[in-house]
Structure 1
Amino acid sequence: DRFIFLEEGELVEITAAEVSIFGHNKDVVESRAVTLDERHDGADKGNYRHYMQKEIFEQPAAIERTLAGRVSDKHVLTHAFGIAAESVFREVGAVQIVACGSSYYTGLVAKYWFEEYAGIPCQVEIASELRYRKTVVLPKTLLVTISQSGETADTLAALRNAKDKNYIASLCLCNVPNSTLVRESDLSLMLEAGIEICVASTKAFTNQLVDLLLLVGAIGQYNELDDAGHRELVDALRTLPDVVKSTLKLDDQIRHIAEKFVDKDHALFLGRGSHYPIALEGALKLKEISYIHAEGYPAGELKHGPLALVDDDMPVVAVAPGDELIEKLKSNLEEVRARGAELVVFADEHVTMREAERVTVLKVPSCSALISPIVYTIPVQLLAYHVAVYKGTDVDQPRNLAKSVTVE
């Protein structure tokens, strides 16, 4: 359980008596042995049928862990990101997020947060695309990489390619201490999600969102996030574990709804604003573990193509928080209902939306708009899980997929 990570160009001599490390100039380098944390408290399914189910229900505790020691009564504690974080964050004028898969979707949510609350531009790129194209880096840009494992090949390559760019620093969000991404980044924040065994990410996904919101608070305080806004952000995060616990109580209702998807070949997920990436994540989860083809779309884009696919054999799932876009979303959903589609709506408990034939409305606990995208992640996770169980697929190890993508 003890490792020595070598720097580029170092040599090692191993004898029966000792291990010696030599630097570029052949001088002996002091040993940097580290002991890896070998806690396996998450390796037992306990009373749960699958690891995915267990990890979904572990999310309130996982969120509490990632918040512990990182927020005061009024502020995000900048030092949680590293001793050099404050000096870096004071200079940040833009953010570039790089990730793959579900982690990319968390970056898309963060783009809304950074621009609305911190008032700084944020770009989000898929790592496998960014690494192979010429880029223009905005002045004073912080590079943020996101990876559950810290070993994602494309994300690592994007980080390494960025070394000769004009970024002011690199920061990673990762669930594995001492991973390559952590060791090669200037700053890091551990997700503290605990071990995640199911290939489809759940608690690491929500903790990525939580930690990105912490980052918005930490950077935003030096930009357009005033003290009142910062306090609102912290207060919202403190309520999150309890709101997620309440949302998990929808499990039985969602299990019954999932039966409607079993014999379907396609599904459409809709969202608006910062909940559009949650629609993308819901579609990805469904296709990953149930093998049903699913797409996530901005609800406002329905008439630009997807509406042609909607009929009584294509269920549509909508994420409907009680925000300023709710009336526009209702209009979009009327278009869907008129085509005879099976419509499932996850709606804020205070939103007036009536059930009707082939329309099911599930009430999600009301919460701050800041944490709403995190809360609405829970129902789409549960839906994908129960559909996969009904279909009899391998929920924890879906075909053709791996937990950590370490090759191109």
Structure 2
Amino acid sequence: MSSASGSKTYVEIAAQPAALAAAALQLKQQSDWVDRYLKSGRFDEVIFIGSGSSYYQAQTMAATYRKWLGKSALALPSSELYLFRGQHTALNRNYLVVGVSRSGESTEVVLALESVQNLSGYTICGITCYEQSTMARLAECLVSPLGKEESTVMTKSFSSMTWMMQAAIASASAHALQHQADLEAVVAADSDVVQRADAFIQGLVQSEKLNKYIYLGMGAYFGIAQEACLKIKEMSYVWTESYGTLEFRHGPKSVVEPGTLVCVLLSEQARAYELKVAQEMQQYGAYVLIVTAEAGDDTAFANGVFEVGGRQLSDEARAVLYLPGLQYLGYYTALAKGVDPDSPRNLTQVVKI
């Protein structure tokens, strides 16, 4: 492994604060997008579609949309809408389909959008980091201008696109001022979180010998847990899975043993229940890492606790602050295994069929 291994990925993880700030400025310039799509009363349901990481952020976007707007939303893999649309949608409903793609070139998201663009009851739009992409030419897109990446794995693009869509949703909410204030606090806190996460995760990887990785999250954090699972799998090729926190107790917990990392993305809404799961996994021999707004007496049992701050914020707004530590965990685990996270095997930045 060369001394330059992982250099692109490292720079891009560290660049998240600037990418969030740029997304905030860009959204002000694209406020008419919010008016046309998210403030419109024409749609019975919004369907966020993406592939891989883009699907996982679509899950967080959909959860935020439902919670903040009180309206129906769904997240689907792009291929499901393209190939199995009838199993997910109903007749006589008006759908807004939001394509989510870093590159705007993923074959599946483009095919899915093309498949519905001329159908009655469907309107398409999207979010991307590339304003001249195929998807951006096909549908009107929000653009995260500093989300563009050289590395194969998504890091700052995921964070900035997720935050940007949440900010767009906030603008359409009846409680816009509160949600917007929460998201502005996230931008202000992100630099500190990135720096602390770097040192914290580097120390954890150096001190612990782990061979299984489990990520648990609920609500808006379920998509984040799936993304965390994918990050470490992409970068370091280790065995890993993700589940809804309480769902993990219903069978999958049988894989827990010494050497297993169980990382719980702790919400405030279900904090007490999620901590019970964490304690149970520790009893089975797991190394329990809790990512939370704030540590307390109730988290003292954990093997590791990383605080992102912002306990006064909503769980949805805080979601992006959970990402830096999870991304660094994939990065430093890869380096420890002698793997270059910039060039994961079998992967390309854009997946085409």
TM-score by length of structure 2 reads 0.91
Match 2:143 to one of 180, 190, 200: 190
User: What runs of 5+ residues in structure 2 fail to find an aligned partner?
Assistant: none
Distance 1:214 1:132, change over 3 A: same
DSSP 3-state at the match of 1:361: strand
Of residues 342, 355, 362, the one that matches 2:306 is 362
Ranges in structure 1 where 5+ consecutive residues have no aligned partner: 1-46
Task: Tell me the SS of whatever aligns to 1:273.
Answer: coil
Higher helix share: 2
| 1:217 corresponds to which of 153, 156, 170 | 170
User: 2:38, 2:244 → 1: CA distance?
Assistant: 38
- Write the letter of the residue equivalent to 2:160: N
RMSD over equivalenced CA pairs, Å: 2.2
Tell me the CA shift for residue 77 of structure 1. 6.3
Quote the offset at 1:330 in angstroms: 0.7
User: Equivalent of 1:61, from 15, 18, 21?
Assistant: 18
Aligned to 2:334, which of 388, 400, 407? Answer: 388
Indicate yes or no: 2:53 matched with 1:102. yes
Is 1:201 the counterpart of 2:154? The answer is yes
Alignment of 1:333 onto 2:290:
no
Higher relative contact order (CA 8 A, sep 6+): 2
Superposition pairs of residues 2-17 of structure 1, within 5 angstroms: none
Q: Which residue of 1 aligns with 2:289?
A: 344
Structure 2 CA distance for partners of 1:281 and 1:260, relative to 1, 3 Å: farther
Q: Could you list the per-position Cα deviations for residues 308-364 of structure 1 after superposition, in whole angstroms to 9, with x for gaps in the alignment?
A: 11111222111114x1200000111111011011111112225434445x7122222
Identity fraction in percent: 22
For the residue of structure 1 that corresponds to 2:74, the secondary structure is strand
After the TM superposition, which residues 66-85 of structure 1 pair with which residues of structure 2 at under 5 Å, given as runs? 66-71=23-28, 78-79=31-32, 81=33, 85=36
Counterpart-to-counterpart distance in 2, 1:141 and 1:161: 13
Task: Please name the residue that 1:267 is paired with.
Answer: 213
State the shift of 1:235 in Å. Answer: 1.1
Which of 93, 109, 121 aligns to 1:155? It is 109
Residue 69 of structure 1: how far off its partner (Å): 4.9
- In terms of mean alpha carbon deviation, does 176-185 or 125-134 score higher? 125-134
365 and 60 in structure 1: CA distance in 2 versus 1, 3 angstrom threshold = same
TM-score calculated relative to the size of structure 1 = 0.79
Confirm or deny: 8 A CA contact 2:193 2:308 kept in the other structure: yes
Give 3-state SS (helix, strand or coil) of 1:299's partner: coil
Alpha-carbon deviation of 1:58? 0.6
Residues 276 and 194 of structure 1, relative CA distance in 2, 3 Å threshold: closer
2:68 is equivalent to residue 121 of structure 1: no
* Letter of the structure 1 residue corresponding to residue 123 of structure 2: A
2:185 is aligned with 1:234: no
Aligned to 1:142: 96
| Paired residue total | 344
Q: For 1:237, what is the secondary structure of its paired residue?
A: helix
User: Which one has the largest radius of gyration?
Assistant: 1
The aligned runs of 1:249-268 (5 Å cut-off) are 249-259=196-206, 264=211, 266-268=212-214
Residue 302 of structure 1 pairs with residue 241 of structure 2: no
